[in-house]
Structure 1
């Protein structure tokens, strides 16, 4: 499998996202084999959450989707090709939102909250120097509509492949898909970029896309059970994290952040049912979840502003996250990643000893740690 994708996108006439208040737009570089979809609310922010099920993720602004972060809403989600290079495209979504006054109000302006996640599409279909740009992401945000959603080889689906266990030459085309479901008054939709290491199955468990051999489908799980193929490693012998399935699930019911996180985790089970294997050390799989902001669920920023000095809150009564201490700790001894994480956590203790208070709900404090390989 080589060269750019020749598969064109199709329009799903059934997937109407209007009841969910979300819109999808794509930007596509067909020659470069890459692109980016933007999923954004039609009007105003939404509550967000995420379930990370892969160990090779590439992300931006993921912390606002956790239950402990001050900012409890998002303004858009970007799914992008280009591997880590593609994260720069989020600036275009931010610019589109800022021009319309959409984002977290910090007094002198707004800061749009745009979580983003990447797939690796720099090969075999993509051209390595082709990455989604801020201009492409701006265009995707501007083109977003709640209907006539393009599917297939479009956006980040342009250079997506599946079934790479037998090597890129025996992989098949992946892509972008969208589906909706209704149960009474509850409506849900899933928007997915499939760039998986594993095989894709239908509802009966049959492989419909995946690694191939001379007789048909090779069964990626069986291949990996025999040991890691040589093509998994790069020239340095390192395993390349080149596989990712990204999903955004939207619902029309309000949830607390904790409960919406449970929705994202539950939705991730669909990946395990339809892709084998999934969520491996070589995958960057993430499921995002979006739900409306409605009265009856606590707005953490508003709650925290009660009893705080007036200057902590902006004109809307939201607490502005304008305080941060950042540190990088470097050591000359080799550590495992887990142990180096413990070094970073230990170093964070210095902040607590020298700054009071620190690490509050209004701080964005982070300690990085570096060690030789």
Structure 2
């Protein structure tokens, strides 16, 4: 049986490109025919491209893809490959002389695992587009291959993050889906508040970020990881939204991030959520869409760490007993 995914939203495709040696990669959410877009940047250390364009007061209404990438600021180069792939096929904003593909992007910091001198580039971004289809691999793949969580004490306390997805279809046919790359400073918790992936203490015991912070963990231990985190996501719907409504959808979806990651939106994270509308159905009340978007994003976050695998000595949730 097919697992619910963001590609259940008509007009959405997803592709991954993964460097298993350097432990970095790209995940692209393709909307070649265009999707109305909004964004909400909530973390204190974001790395982004084209987010100002998504402000409702600005001209361009639709995007052709969203790139989620590893490599910190270096990885923004992957978006160039996505632009090339779209341009070659005639997709983009028509400026008369040509069509300009509109491709926002956001990065995670994954340089602390694998190689710090190799990061996603235009070739990898292009490859992610070539691989894009309606299936969505989860876990340690694409931009999630180098993702980690629970880094309050650096990589010594870390566990594996990854890519996750989920969707929900309402009675009127409106679908809301989410895709997320989880690379958080904090811990990932299940709906009952139990930590399923997060900071480890002595003996590899899963103790959690909050406990270590309250227990007087040296400030230097987490100051050394400043700016080395970030959870980035895309929520999408086939409901008809303008840019202002898409922006509000992204804002409400951030609640799902805060439910599933503790703490969220820290000074060290660049938490960013994009929202896409593929304009198929009349929209239900925005409060309904936002509530569902938060729910599916929270589920996708949990799925990301549950699907991850142990890499480079950093354990996955499946290999560490829950707190």
TM bracket (short chain)? 0.7 to 0.9
Q: 1:296 to 1:202 in 2, by over 3 A?
A: closer
Output the TM-score relative to the length of structure 2.
Answer: 0.82
> Could you tell me how far apart the structure 1 residues matched to 2:248 and 2:6 are?
24
**Residue 88 (structure 2) aligned to one of 95, 99, 107:** 99
Q: 1:247-303 CA distances to partner (integer Å, 9 max, x unpaired)?
A: 100111011211111111111100111100010110000011000247999xxxxxx
Q: Distance in 2 between matches of 1:127 and 1:96?
A: 27
For 1:269, the equivalent position in structure 2 comes to 255
Retained in 2: the 8 A contact 1:54–1:284?
yes
Q: What is the CA–CA distance in structure 2 between the aligned matches of 1:289 and 1:20, rounded to whole Å?
A: 14
**Which digits, 9 at most, give the CA deviation of each residue in 1:115-134, with x for residues without a partner?**
000000011x2200110010
3-state SS, counterpart of residue 258 of structure 2: helix
CA gap of 1:19–1:287, structure 2 versus 1, over 3 A, is: closer
Distance in 2 separating the partners of 1:44 and 1:231 = 46
CA distance in structure 1 between the partners assigned to 2:221 and 2:52 by the alignment: 34
- 1:5-62 CA-to-partner distances (Å, cap 9, x unmatched) read xxxxxx9744372443200000000000000000011x41100001111010000111
Larger deviation, residues 14-23 vs 181-190: 14-23
User: 1:76 corresponds to which residue?
Assistant: 65
Deviates more, 1:254-263 or 1:242-251: 254-263
Tell me what 2:297 maps to.
none
* 8 Å CA contact retained: 1:26, 1:144: yes
Q: Pairwise CA RMSD of aligned residues?
A: 2.0
Match of 2:243 among 232, 257, 273: 257
TM-score, scaled to structure 1: 0.72
Deviations 1:61-119 (CA, angstroms, capped at 9, x unpaired) = 11121111111110100000000000011110000000011011111111111000000
- The alpha-carbon deviation at position 200 of structure 1 amounts to 0.3
Determine the structure 2 residue equivalent to 1:350. none
1:12/1:149 contact within 8 Å kept: no
1:220 matched to 2:202? The reply is no
What is the match of residue 231 of structure 1? Answer: 221
Question: How many residue pairs are counted as aligned between the two chains?
Answer: 280
The answer to whether the 8 Å contact 2:6/2:12 transfers is no
Q: Is the contact made by 2:25 and 2:144 (CA closer than 8 Å) also made in structure 1?
A: yes
Q: Return the structure number with greater relative CO, CA threshold 8 A, min gap 6.
A: 2
Higher-Rg structure is 1
Among candidates 26, 34, 53, match of residue 36 of structure 1: 26
SS at match of 2:106: strand
Measure, in 2, the Cα distance between the counterparts of 1:50 and 1:278: 17
1:172 counterpart residue number: 159
| In structure 1, C-alpha distance between the alignment counterparts of 2:174 and 2:267, rounded to whole Å | 35
- Could you tell me which runs of 5 or more consecutive residues in structure 2 were left unpaired when the two chains were aligned: 284-323
Q: Contact 1:177/1:191 (CA < 8 Å) preserved in 2?
A: yes
Offset at residue 217 of structure 1 (A): 1.9
Find the counterpart in structure 2 of residue 20 from structure 1: 10
Uncovered stretches (5+) of structure 1, i.e. residues with no partner = 1-10, 298-373
Deviation for aligned residue 1:181: 1.1
